[in-house]
């Protein structure tokens, strides 16, 4: 099974308390939904966890119990582990919403059809999603707001994005 059949739903940011609970950063639209998609796996598929939320939050993270994790030391050892679910277990999205994994790698063109680069990453620092765009003609990374105004067209089938960037971005 190829990697693109899975979506990263969250990451373990460290231990919480001394009984094996973890701080869990959720990447799902509704953070608590991370526990609803069945067992989550590590990126290398070596670890699998059932996630049970304790209902608390700490510093923007959910507090969760992972199956098989019973001590602070076990929880600490998982810091930084990203958790994935198979795409088939996730809901279909409306036409104007996208999984970040689907956007990464897409070619970006301006409204006149000229190539601008490709999407390297999708970032969110709290004020909305940004597309990190790299390309041969760019001296550095360009961050493009992922809004309907700046990105009027996302065509997953053809692997391309049409961008109408604000003046001076490129």
As a whole number of Å, the CA-based R_g of the chain is 18
3-state secondary structure (DSSP) of residue 75: helix
Q: Could you give the angle at the alpha carbon of 80 between the alpha carbons of 74 and 81, nearest 5°?
A: 70
3-state secondary structure (DSSP) of residue 34: helix
What number is the average pLDDT over the span 114-131?
88
Q: Rounded to whole angstroms, how far apart are CA atoms 88 and 164?
A: 33
Residue in the structure block whose two tokens are 């966890």: 49
This prediction's pTM: 0.73
Same domain, 116 and 67: no
What pLDDT digit, counting tens, does each position of 50-97 carry?
999 987 776 778 999 999 999 999 999 999 999 999 988 888 888 888
* Residue 25 confidence (pLDDT) above 70: yes
Same domain, 53 and 115: no
* Residue 101 confidence (pLDDT) above 90: no
Q: Could you give the angle at the alpha carbon of 95 between the alpha carbons of 86 and 26, nearest 5°?
A: 45
Same domain, 85 and 108: no
The number of distinct structural domains making up the chain is 2
* Residue 125 confidence (pLDDT) above 80: no
Same domain, 75 and 7: yes
CATH of the domain at 47: 2.40.30.60
Same domain, 85 and 110: no
In a domain, 9, yes or no: yes
Give the whole-number percent of the chain exceeding pLDDT 70: 96
By DSSP bridging, strand 160-163 and strand 107-110 are parallel
* Residue 154 confidence (pLDDT) above 80: yes
**Left if phi > 0, otherwise alpha if psi is -120 to 50, otherwise beta: which for 14?**
left
CA dist list (Å): 38 to 15, 22, 51, 66: 21, 17, 8, 12
Query: For the chain, how are helix, strand and coil distributed in percent, rounded to 5?
Result: 15, 40, 45
pLDDT band at 99 (very low <50, low <70, confident <90, very high): confident
In a domain, 135, yes or no: yes
* Phi, psi of 109, deg, nearest 5: -125, 155
Same domain, 14 and 78: yes
Same domain, 84 and 124: no
Same domain, 67 and 21: yes
Range of the domain at 109: 100-163
Same domain, 133 and 107: yes
pLDDT band at 152 (very low <50, low <70, confident <90, very high): very high
Same domain, 77 and 108: no
Q: Rounded to whole angstroms, how far apart are CA atoms 8 and 146?
A: 19
pLDDT band at 1 (very low <50, low <70, confident <90, very high): very low
């Amino acid at each position: 099974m190829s990697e693109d059949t899975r979506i990263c739903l969250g990451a373990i940011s460290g231990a919480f308390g001394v009984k094996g609970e973890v701080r869990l950063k959720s990447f799902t639209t509704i953070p608590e939904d991370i526990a609803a998609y069945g067992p989550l796996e590590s990126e290398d598929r070596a670890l699998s966890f059932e996630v049970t939320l304790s209902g608390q939050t700490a510093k923007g993270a959910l507090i969760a119990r992972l199956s098989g994790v019973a001590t602070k030391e076990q929880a600490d050892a998982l810091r930084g582990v990203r958790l994935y679910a198979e795409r088939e277990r996730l809901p279909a999205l409306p036409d104007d919403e996208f999984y970040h994994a689907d956007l990464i790698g897409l070619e970006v063109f301006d409204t006149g059809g000229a190539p601008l680069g490709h999407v390297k990453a999708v970032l969110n620092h709290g004020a909305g999603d940004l597309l990190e765009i790299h390309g041969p003609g760019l001296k550095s990374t360009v961050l493009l707001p992922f809004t309907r105004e700046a990105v009027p067209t996302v065509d997953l089938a053809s692997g391309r994005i049409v961008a109408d960037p604000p003046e001076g971005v490129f």
